[in-house]
Structure 1
Amino acid sequence: MYNPDRTIMGNTETTTETSKRTERRRWNGTDLGLIAVFAALVAGAALVPGLALNGFGVPITFQTLAVMLTGLVLGPARGFAAVGLYTLLGLAGLPIFSQGRSGLAILAGPSAGYIIAFPIAAAVVGWLATVVVRRTTKARALWFFLAATVTSVVFVHTLGVLGIALNSKATLEQAFLSDLVFYPGDIIKNLLAAAVAVALHRAFPDVLVRRVRRRTQSAQSA
Protein backbone atom coordinates (compact mmCIF):
# COMPACT_ATOMS: atom_id res chain seq x y z
CA MET A 1 0.00 0.00 0.00
CA TYR A 2 1.03 3.56 -0.62
CA ASN A 3 2.11 5.23 2.59
CA PRO A 4 2.47 9.02 2.26
CA ASP A 5 4.09 9.32 5.67
CA ARG A 6 6.77 6.84 4.66
CA THR A 7 7.31 8.68 1.39
CA ILE A 8 7.68 11.98 3.20
CA MET A 9 10.05 10.46 5.72
CA GLY A 10 12.06 8.83 2.94
CA ASN A 11 12.33 12.10 1.06
CA THR A 12 13.34 13.88 4.26
CA GLU A 13 16.04 11.32 4.95
CA THR A 14 17.29 11.56 1.38
CA THR A 15 17.36 15.35 1.56
CA THR A 16 19.19 15.24 4.88
CA GLU A 17 21.78 12.81 3.57
CA THR A 18 22.28 14.95 0.46
CA SER A 19 22.68 18.06 2.60
CA LYS A 20 25.26 16.36 4.77
CA ARG A 21 27.26 15.23 1.72
CA THR A 22 27.07 18.72 0.23
CA GLU A 23 28.17 20.27 3.52
CA ARG A 24 31.14 17.94 3.73
CA ARG A 25 32.24 18.75 0.19
CA ARG A 26 31.72 22.53 0.24
CA TRP A 27 34.71 24.75 0.94
CA ASN A 28 34.14 27.83 3.05
CA GLY A 29 36.10 31.06 3.26
CA THR A 30 38.57 29.53 5.70
CA ASP A 31 39.35 26.71 3.29
CA LEU A 32 39.90 29.13 0.42
CA GLY A 33 42.09 31.28 2.63
CA LEU A 34 44.21 28.29 3.62
CA ILE A 35 44.59 27.29 -0.02
CA ALA A 36 45.80 30.80 -0.87
CA VAL A 37 48.18 30.95 2.11
CA PHE A 38 49.79 27.61 1.34
CA ALA A 39 50.05 28.43 -2.36
CA ALA A 40 51.98 31.55 -1.31
CA LEU A 41 54.10 29.40 1.01
CA VAL A 42 55.11 27.12 -1.87
CA ALA A 43 55.89 30.15 -4.02
CA GLY A 44 58.03 31.67 -1.27
CA ALA A 45 59.89 28.41 -0.76
CA ALA A 46 60.64 28.26 -4.49
CA LEU A 47 62.19 31.72 -4.45
CA VAL A 48 64.60 31.01 -1.58
CA PRO A 49 68.05 30.77 -3.22
CA GLY A 50 69.07 27.16 -3.84
CA LEU A 51 72.16 25.69 -2.26
CA ALA A 52 73.42 23.99 -5.40
CA LEU A 53 72.42 22.64 -8.79
CA ASN A 54 72.36 19.07 -10.00
CA GLY A 55 74.13 18.21 -13.21
CA PHE A 56 71.22 19.37 -15.38
CA GLY A 57 70.55 22.76 -13.82
CA VAL A 58 67.74 21.79 -11.42
CA PRO A 59 68.23 23.83 -8.21
CA ILE A 60 67.96 22.56 -4.66
CA THR A 61 65.16 24.59 -3.03
CA PHE A 62 62.75 24.37 -0.10
CA GLN A 63 59.82 23.62 -2.40
CA THR A 64 59.49 19.97 -1.48
CA LEU A 65 59.32 20.97 2.19
CA ALA A 66 56.46 23.37 1.42
CA VAL A 67 54.66 20.90 -0.84
CA MET A 68 54.78 18.08 1.73
CA LEU A 69 53.78 20.43 4.53
CA THR A 70 50.83 21.64 2.47
CA GLY A 71 49.52 18.12 1.94
CA LEU A 72 50.13 17.03 5.52
CA VAL A 73 48.28 20.04 6.91
CA LEU A 74 45.44 20.54 4.44
CA GLY A 75 44.73 17.00 3.31
CA PRO A 76 44.38 15.75 -0.28
CA ALA A 77 41.81 18.04 -1.93
CA ARG A 78 42.86 21.37 -0.46
CA GLY A 79 46.53 20.39 -0.66
CA PHE A 80 46.17 19.62 -4.36
CA ALA A 81 44.26 22.88 -4.87
CA ALA A 82 46.93 24.96 -3.11
CA VAL A 83 49.90 23.51 -4.98
CA GLY A 84 47.88 23.36 -8.19
CA LEU A 85 47.10 27.07 -7.82
CA TYR A 86 50.78 27.82 -7.38
CA THR A 87 51.62 25.75 -10.46
CA LEU A 88 48.95 27.36 -12.64
CA LEU A 89 50.01 30.87 -11.62
CA GLY A 90 53.61 30.06 -12.46
CA LEU A 91 52.69 28.60 -15.83
CA ALA A 92 50.52 31.65 -16.48
CA GLY A 93 53.53 33.91 -16.20
CA LEU A 94 54.10 34.88 -12.57
CA PRO A 95 57.83 34.52 -11.73
CA ILE A 96 57.26 32.14 -8.82
CA PHE A 97 59.13 29.05 -9.97
CA SER A 98 62.68 28.45 -8.73
CA GLN A 99 65.18 31.12 -9.76
CA GLY A 100 62.28 33.44 -10.66
CA ARG A 101 61.31 31.50 -13.76
CA SER A 102 57.79 31.34 -15.16
CA GLY A 103 55.72 30.43 -18.18
CA LEU A 104 54.99 27.31 -20.17
CA ALA A 105 58.60 27.14 -21.33
CA ILE A 106 59.55 25.53 -18.03
CA LEU A 107 57.71 22.39 -19.19
CA ALA A 108 60.43 21.98 -21.81
CA GLY A 109 63.21 22.25 -19.22
CA PRO A 110 64.78 19.76 -16.81
CA SER A 111 62.55 20.88 -13.91
CA ALA A 112 59.32 19.96 -15.72
CA GLY A 113 58.86 16.59 -14.02
CA TYR A 114 59.24 18.08 -10.56
CA ILE A 115 56.76 20.88 -11.31
CA ILE A 116 54.17 18.42 -12.60
CA ALA A 117 54.73 16.12 -9.63
CA PHE A 118 54.19 18.75 -6.93
CA PRO A 119 50.35 18.94 -7.01
CA ILE A 120 50.12 15.16 -7.29
CA ALA A 121 52.48 14.72 -4.36
CA ALA A 122 50.48 17.17 -2.23
CA ALA A 123 47.31 15.20 -2.91
CA VAL A 124 48.90 11.82 -2.18
CA VAL A 125 50.68 12.84 1.02
CA GLY A 126 47.48 14.62 2.08
CA TRP A 127 45.50 11.43 1.63
CA LEU A 128 48.11 9.49 3.60
CA ALA A 129 47.91 12.13 6.33
CA THR A 130 44.17 11.58 6.66
CA VAL A 131 44.77 7.84 6.97
CA VAL A 132 47.28 8.46 9.76
CA VAL A 133 44.96 10.90 11.55
CA ARG A 134 42.04 8.47 11.26
CA ARG A 135 43.88 5.42 12.53
CA THR A 136 46.35 6.50 15.18
CA THR A 137 47.40 9.25 17.55
CA LYS A 138 50.73 7.62 18.40
CA ALA A 139 54.01 8.46 16.70
CA ARG A 140 52.15 10.68 14.28
CA ALA A 141 55.30 12.61 13.35
CA LEU A 142 57.00 9.36 12.34
CA TRP A 143 54.07 8.31 10.17
CA PHE A 144 53.92 11.74 8.57
CA PHE A 145 57.64 11.54 7.82
CA LEU A 146 57.26 8.10 6.25
CA ALA A 147 54.27 9.30 4.20
CA ALA A 148 56.22 12.31 2.93
CA THR A 149 59.31 10.25 2.14
CA VAL A 150 57.42 7.55 0.24
CA THR A 151 55.48 10.20 -1.67
CA SER A 152 58.58 12.17 -2.61
CA VAL A 153 60.42 9.07 -3.80
CA VAL A 154 57.54 7.54 -5.76
CA PHE A 155 56.14 10.70 -7.31
CA VAL A 156 58.48 13.71 -7.08
CA HIS A 157 61.75 11.90 -7.79
CA THR A 158 60.30 9.49 -10.32
CA LEU A 159 58.62 12.19 -12.39
CA GLY A 160 61.64 14.43 -11.87
CA VAL A 161 63.95 11.81 -13.34
CA LEU A 162 61.61 11.27 -16.29
CA GLY A 163 61.47 15.01 -16.92
CA ILE A 164 65.25 15.31 -16.92
CA ALA A 165 65.60 12.35 -19.26
CA LEU A 166 62.99 13.60 -21.71
CA ASN A 167 63.96 17.26 -21.82
CA SER A 168 67.72 17.00 -21.49
CA LYS A 169 68.25 14.07 -23.85
CA ALA A 170 69.95 12.24 -20.99
CA THR A 171 69.68 8.55 -20.30
CA LEU A 172 67.55 7.38 -17.42
CA GLU A 173 70.71 6.33 -15.60
CA GLN A 174 72.24 9.78 -15.96
CA ALA A 175 69.01 11.44 -14.85
CA PHE A 176 68.69 9.10 -11.88
CA LEU A 177 72.26 9.76 -10.74
CA SER A 178 71.75 13.52 -11.01
CA ASP A 179 68.55 13.23 -8.94
CA LEU A 180 70.37 11.51 -6.07
CA VAL A 181 71.78 14.85 -4.96
CA PHE A 182 68.29 15.78 -3.72
CA TYR A 183 67.79 12.80 -1.40
CA PRO A 184 69.77 13.93 1.70
CA GLY A 185 68.07 17.31 1.69
CA ASP A 186 64.65 15.77 1.15
CA ILE A 187 65.05 13.54 4.18
CA ILE A 188 65.76 16.58 6.33
CA LYS A 189 62.92 18.55 4.75
CA ASN A 190 60.48 15.68 5.26
CA LEU A 191 61.46 15.49 8.92
CA LEU A 192 60.81 19.22 9.27
CA ALA A 193 57.51 18.99 7.39
CA ALA A 194 56.31 16.16 9.64
CA ALA A 195 57.29 17.97 12.83
CA VAL A 196 55.68 21.24 11.77
CA ALA A 197 52.52 19.47 10.57
CA VAL A 198 52.10 17.71 13.93
CA ALA A 199 52.58 21.02 15.76
CA LEU A 200 50.03 22.76 13.53
CA HIS A 201 47.47 19.99 13.98
CA ARG A 202 47.85 20.25 17.74
CA ALA A 203 47.44 24.01 17.66
CA PHE A 204 44.67 24.06 15.04
CA PRO A 205 42.85 20.69 15.07
CA ASP A 206 39.94 22.09 13.06
CA VAL A 207 42.16 22.38 9.99
CA LEU A 208 42.25 18.62 9.39
CA VAL A 209 42.08 16.40 12.49
CA ARG A 210 38.51 17.19 13.51
CA ARG A 211 37.36 17.21 9.89
CA VAL A 212 38.66 13.66 9.43
CA ARG A 213 37.09 12.51 12.69
CA ARG A 214 33.71 14.01 11.79
CA ARG A 215 33.75 12.32 8.40
CA THR A 216 34.74 9.00 9.97
CA GLN A 217 31.92 9.25 12.49
CA SER A 218 29.43 10.18 9.75
CA ALA A 219 30.54 7.22 7.65
CA GLN A 220 30.19 4.86 10.62
CA SER A 221 26.73 6.12 11.52
CA ALA A 222 25.47 6.00 7.92
Structure 2
Amino acid sequence: MATRDLVLAALFAAIIVALGLVPPIMLGFIPVPITAQSLGVMLAGVILGAKRGGLAVLLVLVLVAIGLPVLSGGRGGLATFVLPTAGYLVGWFFAAVAIGYCSERFVGRSQSALVQVTGFFMAAMIGGVVILHGLGILWLAYGTGTGLSTAFLGDLAFIPGDILKAAIAALAGRAVMVGYPLLPQRA
Protein backbone atom coordinates (compact mmCIF):
# COMPACT_ATOMS: atom_id res chain seq x y z
CA MET A 1 0.00 0.00 0.00
CA ALA A 2 1.41 3.37 -1.02
CA THR A 3 1.95 6.29 1.33
CA ARG A 4 -0.81 8.19 -0.44
CA ASP A 5 -3.27 5.40 0.35
CA LEU A 6 -2.32 5.48 4.03
CA VAL A 7 -2.67 9.26 4.14
CA LEU A 8 -6.12 9.11 2.53
CA ALA A 9 -7.21 6.38 4.95
CA ALA A 10 -5.97 8.44 7.90
CA LEU A 11 -7.74 11.53 6.54
CA PHE A 12 -11.06 9.71 6.33
CA ALA A 13 -10.52 8.17 9.77
CA ALA A 14 -10.14 11.75 11.01
CA ILE A 15 -13.36 12.72 9.22
CA ILE A 16 -15.22 9.86 10.90
CA VAL A 17 -13.81 10.92 14.28
CA ALA A 18 -14.70 14.57 13.62
CA LEU A 19 -18.28 13.57 12.82
CA GLY A 20 -18.32 12.01 16.28
CA LEU A 21 -18.22 15.53 17.72
CA VAL A 22 -21.84 15.93 16.66
CA PRO A 23 -23.77 14.97 19.81
CA PRO A 24 -25.68 11.68 19.57
CA ILE A 25 -29.46 11.74 19.59
CA MET A 26 -31.03 9.11 21.83
CA LEU A 27 -34.47 7.91 20.83
CA GLY A 28 -35.38 6.28 24.12
CA PHE A 29 -37.01 3.12 22.78
CA ILE A 30 -33.78 1.61 21.43
CA PRO A 31 -30.30 1.81 23.01
CA VAL A 32 -28.69 2.88 19.73
CA PRO A 33 -28.11 6.62 19.24
CA ILE A 34 -28.43 8.50 15.97
CA THR A 35 -24.92 9.67 15.06
CA ALA A 36 -23.30 11.43 12.12
CA GLN A 37 -20.39 8.98 12.04
CA SER A 38 -22.14 6.55 9.72
CA LEU A 39 -22.01 9.33 7.11
CA GLY A 40 -18.21 9.24 7.43
CA VAL A 41 -18.26 5.48 6.89
CA MET A 42 -20.33 5.94 3.73
CA LEU A 43 -18.03 8.70 2.50
CA ALA A 44 -14.94 6.55 3.09
CA GLY A 45 -16.40 3.69 1.07
CA VAL A 46 -17.72 5.84 -1.78
CA ILE A 47 -14.66 8.04 -2.18
CA LEU A 48 -11.79 5.74 -1.22
CA GLY A 49 -13.08 2.36 -2.35
CA ALA A 50 -13.10 -0.98 -0.56
CA LYS A 51 -9.46 -1.31 0.45
CA ARG A 52 -8.72 2.23 1.64
CA GLY A 53 -12.24 2.83 2.98
CA GLY A 54 -12.05 -0.35 5.04
CA LEU A 55 -8.63 0.68 6.32
CA ALA A 56 -9.98 4.09 7.37
CA VAL A 57 -12.77 2.50 9.40
CA LEU A 58 -10.41 -0.12 10.82
CA LEU A 59 -8.17 2.70 12.04
CA VAL A 60 -11.12 4.31 13.84
CA LEU A 61 -12.04 0.97 15.42
CA VAL A 62 -8.45 0.55 16.66
CA LEU A 63 -8.62 4.04 18.19
CA VAL A 64 -11.86 3.03 19.92
CA ALA A 65 -10.33 -0.23 21.15
CA ILE A 66 -7.32 1.46 22.73
CA GLY A 67 -9.66 3.70 24.67
CA LEU A 68 -9.68 7.00 22.85
CA PRO A 69 -13.05 8.77 23.12
CA VAL A 70 -13.58 9.05 19.37
CA LEU A 71 -17.16 7.82 19.18
CA SER A 72 -20.13 10.13 19.32
CA GLY A 73 -20.75 11.18 22.89
CA GLY A 74 -17.09 10.71 23.83
CA ARG A 75 -17.27 6.96 24.09
CA GLY A 76 -14.34 4.61 23.55
CA GLY A 77 -12.63 1.55 25.00
CA LEU A 78 -12.98 -2.19 24.66
CA ALA A 79 -16.28 -2.15 26.56
CA THR A 80 -17.98 -0.54 23.55
CA PHE A 81 -17.43 -3.79 21.64
CA VAL A 82 -19.64 -5.77 24.03
CA LEU A 83 -22.53 -3.33 24.33
CA PRO A 84 -25.82 -4.05 22.53
CA THR A 85 -24.85 -1.34 20.01
CA ALA A 86 -21.55 -3.02 19.07
CA GLY A 87 -23.05 -4.68 15.99
CA TYR A 88 -23.40 -1.29 14.37
CA LEU A 89 -19.85 -0.38 15.35
CA VAL A 90 -18.34 -3.60 13.99
CA GLY A 91 -20.65 -3.30 10.99
CA TRP A 92 -18.91 -0.06 10.01
CA PHE A 93 -15.95 -2.01 8.64
CA PHE A 94 -18.08 -4.39 6.58
CA ALA A 95 -20.26 -1.51 5.40
CA ALA A 96 -17.27 0.55 4.22
CA VAL A 97 -15.77 -2.41 2.37
CA ALA A 98 -19.12 -3.26 0.75
CA ILE A 99 -19.78 0.36 -0.20
CA GLY A 100 -16.31 0.66 -1.68
CA TYR A 101 -16.58 -2.61 -3.56
CA CYS A 102 -19.99 -1.73 -4.99
CA SER A 103 -18.95 1.81 -5.93
CA GLU A 104 -15.89 0.43 -7.71
CA ARG A 105 -18.18 -1.85 -9.72
CA PHE A 106 -21.15 0.49 -10.26
CA VAL A 107 -19.39 3.77 -11.10
CA GLY A 108 -17.00 4.62 -13.91
CA ARG A 109 -15.48 7.91 -15.04
CA SER A 110 -17.05 7.64 -18.49
CA GLN A 111 -20.62 7.47 -17.15
CA SER A 112 -23.02 10.39 -17.02
CA ALA A 113 -23.41 12.36 -13.79
CA LEU A 114 -26.83 10.87 -13.06
CA VAL A 115 -25.55 7.31 -13.49
CA GLN A 116 -22.55 8.02 -11.27
CA VAL A 117 -24.67 9.54 -8.49
CA THR A 118 -27.14 6.66 -8.75
CA GLY A 119 -24.32 4.13 -8.59
CA PHE A 120 -22.80 5.78 -5.54
CA PHE A 121 -26.22 6.00 -3.90
CA MET A 122 -26.95 2.32 -4.50
CA ALA A 123 -23.51 1.37 -3.14
CA ALA A 124 -24.11 3.46 -0.01
CA MET A 125 -27.56 1.92 0.42
CA ILE A 126 -26.27 -1.65 0.07
CA GLY A 127 -23.41 -1.21 2.52
CA GLY A 128 -24.57 1.63 4.72
CA VAL A 129 -28.15 0.54 5.17
CA VAL A 130 -28.58 -3.15 4.34
CA ILE A 131 -25.30 -4.54 5.68
CA LEU A 132 -24.77 -2.08 8.53
CA HIS A 133 -28.34 -2.34 9.79
CA GLY A 134 -28.42 -6.10 9.29
CA LEU A 135 -25.38 -6.63 11.50
CA GLY A 136 -26.62 -4.08 14.00
CA ILE A 137 -30.04 -5.69 14.26
CA LEU A 138 -28.58 -9.17 14.76
CA TRP A 139 -26.22 -7.98 17.51
CA LEU A 140 -28.88 -5.81 19.14
CA ALA A 141 -31.36 -8.69 19.25
CA TYR A 142 -28.75 -10.96 20.78
CA GLY A 143 -27.29 -8.34 23.15
CA THR A 144 -30.60 -7.19 24.58
CA GLY A 145 -32.34 -10.54 24.55
CA THR A 146 -35.19 -9.19 22.48
CA GLY A 147 -36.33 -10.90 19.35
CA LEU A 148 -35.24 -10.03 15.84
CA SER A 149 -38.63 -8.49 15.09
CA THR A 150 -38.38 -6.09 18.03
CA ALA A 151 -34.83 -5.08 17.09
CA PHE A 152 -35.90 -4.65 13.46
CA LEU A 153 -38.85 -2.46 14.38
CA GLY A 154 -36.67 -0.30 16.61
CA ASP A 155 -34.09 0.01 13.83
CA LEU A 156 -36.65 1.35 11.35
CA ALA A 157 -36.36 4.78 12.99
CA PHE A 158 -32.80 5.08 11.58
CA ILE A 159 -33.61 4.26 7.95
CA PRO A 160 -34.81 7.73 6.80
CA GLY A 161 -31.70 9.42 8.18
CA ASP A 162 -29.40 6.84 6.64
CA ILE A 163 -31.10 7.24 3.26
CA LEU A 164 -30.34 10.96 3.54
CA LYS A 165 -26.73 10.16 4.50
CA ALA A 166 -26.46 7.82 1.47
CA ALA A 167 -27.66 10.64 -0.80
CA ILE A 168 -25.11 13.04 0.69
CA ALA A 169 -22.35 10.45 0.25
CA ALA A 170 -23.41 9.87 -3.37
CA LEU A 171 -23.28 13.58 -4.17
CA ALA A 172 -19.93 13.92 -2.42
CA GLY A 173 -18.56 10.93 -4.31
CA ARG A 174 -19.58 12.48 -7.61
CA ALA A 175 -18.12 15.86 -6.62
CA VAL A 176 -14.79 14.30 -5.66
CA MET A 177 -14.70 12.24 -8.85
CA VAL A 178 -15.15 15.39 -10.93
CA GLY A 179 -13.30 17.93 -8.80
CA TYR A 180 -10.25 15.95 -7.75
CA PRO A 181 -8.99 14.01 -10.75
CA LEU A 182 -5.61 13.51 -9.06
CA LEU A 183 -7.17 11.07 -6.62
CA PRO A 184 -5.94 7.68 -7.80
CA GLN A 185 -8.37 4.99 -8.82
CA ARG A 186 -10.32 3.53 -5.91
CA ALA A 187 -8.52 0.19 -6.12
Match of 2:152 among 176, 179, 191: 176
RMSD: 1.7
Letter of the 1:185 partner, please give it: G
Q: Which residue of 1 aligns with 2:122?
A: 146
How is 1:71-86 mapped onto 2 (pairs within 5 angstroms)?
Answer: 71-86=45-60
C-alpha distance in 2 between matches for 1:136 and 1:121: 26
Structure label with greater radius of gyration: 1
SS in 1 for 2:176: helix
Q: Which residue of 2 aligns with 1:66?
A: 40
Match of 2:137 in 1: 161
How far apart in 1 are the matches of 2:144 and 2:178? Answer: 44
SS class of match (1:143): helix
Q: What is the TM-score with the length of structure 2 in the denominator?
A: 0.92
Tell me how far apart the structure 2 counterparts of residues 100 and 149 of structure 1 sit (CA, whole Å).
27
Do the aligned residues in 1 keep the contact of 2:108 with 2:116 (CA within 8 Å)? no
> TM-score normalised to the size of structure 1?
0.78
Distance (Å, rounded) in 2 between the aligned partners of 1:51 and 1:107: 20
C-alpha change, 1:128 and 1:122, in structure 2 (3 Å) is same
Q: Would the aligned equivalents of 1:56 and 1:168 in 2 still touch at CA under 8 Å?
A: no
Structure showing the higher helix proportion among its residues: 1
Whether the aligned pair in 2 keeps the contact of 1:51 and 1:59 (CA below 8 Å) is: yes
| More moved, 130-139 vs 31-40 | 130-139
User: What is the match of residue 131 of structure 1?
Assistant: 105
Secondary structure of the structure 2 residue equivalent to 1:195: helix
Q: Residues 36-115 of structure 1: matches in 2 within 5 Å?
A: 36-53=10-27, 55-115=29-89
Once the two structures are TM-superposed, the CA of residue 56 in structure 1 deviates from its matched residue by 2.6
| Partners of 1:177 and 1:135 in 2: CA distance | 39
Q: How many residues were matched structurally?
A: 185
Which ranges of structure 1 fall in alignment gaps of 5 or more residues? 1-26, 216-222
Secondary structure class of the residue paired with 1:185: helix
Segments of 5+ residues of structure 2 without an aligned counterpart are: none
Q: Percent identity?
A: 40
Aligned partner of 2:5 in structure 1 is 31
| Partner residue, 2:172 | 196
**Secondary structure in 1 aligned to 2:12?**
helix
Assess, with a 3 A threshold, how the Cα gap between structure 1 residues 203 and 108 changes in structure 2: closer, same or farther.
Answer: same
Alignment pair present for 1:186 and 2:162: yes
Letter in 1 for 2:17: A
Is the 1:57–1:110 contact (alpha carbons within 8 Å) kept by the matching residues of 2? yes
- SS in structure 2 opposite 1:98? coil
Change (3 A) 1:129 1:54: farther
Q: Distance in 2 between matches of 1:144 and 1:54?
A: 32
C-alpha deviation, 1:207, in angstroms? 2.0
CA contact 2:96–2:128 (8 Å) conserved in 1: no
